[in-house]
Amino acid sequence: MALVTHIAFIGGTGPEGRGLAYRFALAGHEITIGSRKAERAAEAAVEVAEHAAGATVRGVENADAAQNAGLIVLTVPHTAQPASLPALNDLVKDKIVVSTGVPMEFAGGRAAIVPLPEGSAAEQAQALLPDARVIGAFQNLGAAKLWKDGSALDQDVIVCGDDDDAKQEVMTLSEEIAGIRAVDGGALANARYVEAITALLVSVNRNYKKTTGVRIAGL
Ligand SMILES: NC(=O)c1ccc[n+]([C@@H]2O[C@H](COP(=O)([O-])OP(=O)(O)OC[C@H]3O[C@@H](n4cnc5c(N)ncnc54)[C@H](OP(=O)(O)O)[C@@H]3O)[C@@H](O)[C@H]2O)c1
């Protein structure tokens, strides 16, 4: 198991947060679901705990979640980051913060990446949380497959970050999800390419009526 055992999800009440929380609960982690509203967090926590049969899952407001966990996963829409992340900076000092965000919108019937001044949702998160060690990961894992059951996903998680120890920790963590291989994607600035792949996957999913993921060949 990765060094960190207690994982919190900021905005963990949405499908991506619940899906990842479920998978890490299955792997034996203590889980905290964060929300703007403690009641919503508590409801989501009950659902995840029931789905993961007997897991330890709590639901609290985002700030409490960020304060108490050893590793934080951001599962809010990227549009929510500028208003919601700065208040968490002191609470996540020196902690690993994983950015799952994809700055995507639907325009003219297709998924497209919204350019951000920082270059990616992950770099935006790092700018808003300067005291955290931000790592980009999980952007290509669709929520529905994460949540459906605990079966192997047979996909890569490309992990990007500027802190090598933090990146290694997130790679180890990723491989606790059944069927995941972690791939070192280099610097945090490369998260923009990983995020953009998700927009491509949305089109591929639509064309083939499948839920697809990423596998890097040649490794
Ligand atoms: N869905 C997917 O398949 C998928 C796949 C790959 C990556 N992602 C990424 O994962 C992240 C979460 O995706 P999602 O589909 O779970 O998102 P979502 O359902 O739209 O939002 C997740 C949670 O964020 C909180 N939130 C929403 N607006 C907010 C605001 N203005 N300020 C603060 N909190 C707000 C809400 O929690 P409360 O109301 O409880 O506070 C909500 O339940 C996104 O960045 C997305 O790009 C998603």
Whole-angstrom Cα distance, residue 215 to residue 75?
Answer: 23
Q: How confident is the model at residue 3 (pLDDT cuts 50, 70, 90)?
A: confident
Backbone angles phi, psi at 59, to 5 degrees: -125, 125
Determine the pLDDT at residue 177.
98
Determine the pLDDT at residue 190.
98
Determine the pLDDT at residue 206.
94
Protein fold of 6-208 = Rossmann fold (3.40.50)
Name which residue sits closest to atom 5 of ligand 1, judged by CA: 142
Q: How confident is the model at residue 185 (pLDDT cuts 50, 70, 90)?
A: very high
Determine the pLDDT at residue 211.
92
Query: Ligand 1 pocket, 199 CB below 6 A?
Result: no
Tokens standing for residue 94: 């020196």
Whole-angstrom Cα distance, residue 189 to residue 37?
Answer: 32
Closest ligand 1 atom, residue 16 Cα:
16
Whole-angstrom Cα distance, residue 130 to residue 145?
Answer: 32
pLDDT at 218 over 90: yes
Determine the pLDDT at residue 4.
78
pLDDT at 1 over 80: no
The CA 217 to ligand 1 mean position distance, Å, reads 30
Name which residue sits closest to atom 45 of ligand 1, judged by CA: 101
Determine the pLDDT at residue 2.
73
Question: What Å distances lie between residue 9 and 12, 114, 124, 128, 145, CA to CA?
Answer: 5, 24, 18, 17, 18
Q: How confident is the model at residue 188 (pLDDT cuts 50, 70, 90)?
A: very high
The CA 111 to ligand 1 mean position distance, Å, reads 17
DSSP 86-136: GGGGGGGTT-EEEE----EEEETTEEEEPP-TTSSHHHHHHHH-TTSEEEE
Closest ligand 1 atom, residue 44 Cα:
40
Determine the pLDDT at residue 107.
86
Backbone angles phi, psi at 142, to 5 degrees: -70, 145
Tokens standing for residue 21: 């929380």
pLDDT at 65 over 90: yes
Closest ligand 1 atom, residue 121 Cα:
45
Query: Ligand 1 pocket, 17 CB below 6 A?
Result: yes
Name which residue sits closest to atom 38 of ligand 1, judged by CA: 35
pLDDT at 96 over 90: yes
Q: What is the mean pLDDT of residues 45-54?
A: 95
Q: What is the mean pLDDT of residues 151-161?
A: 97
Q: How confident is the model at residue 109 (pLDDT cuts 50, 70, 90)?
A: confident
**Residue recorded with tokens 């890097």:** 216
pLDDT averaged over every residue in the chain: 97
Closest ligand 1 atom, residue 13 Cα:
43
Q: What is the mean pLDDT of residues 68-74?
A: 97
Q: What is the mean pLDDT of residues 43-57?
A: 95
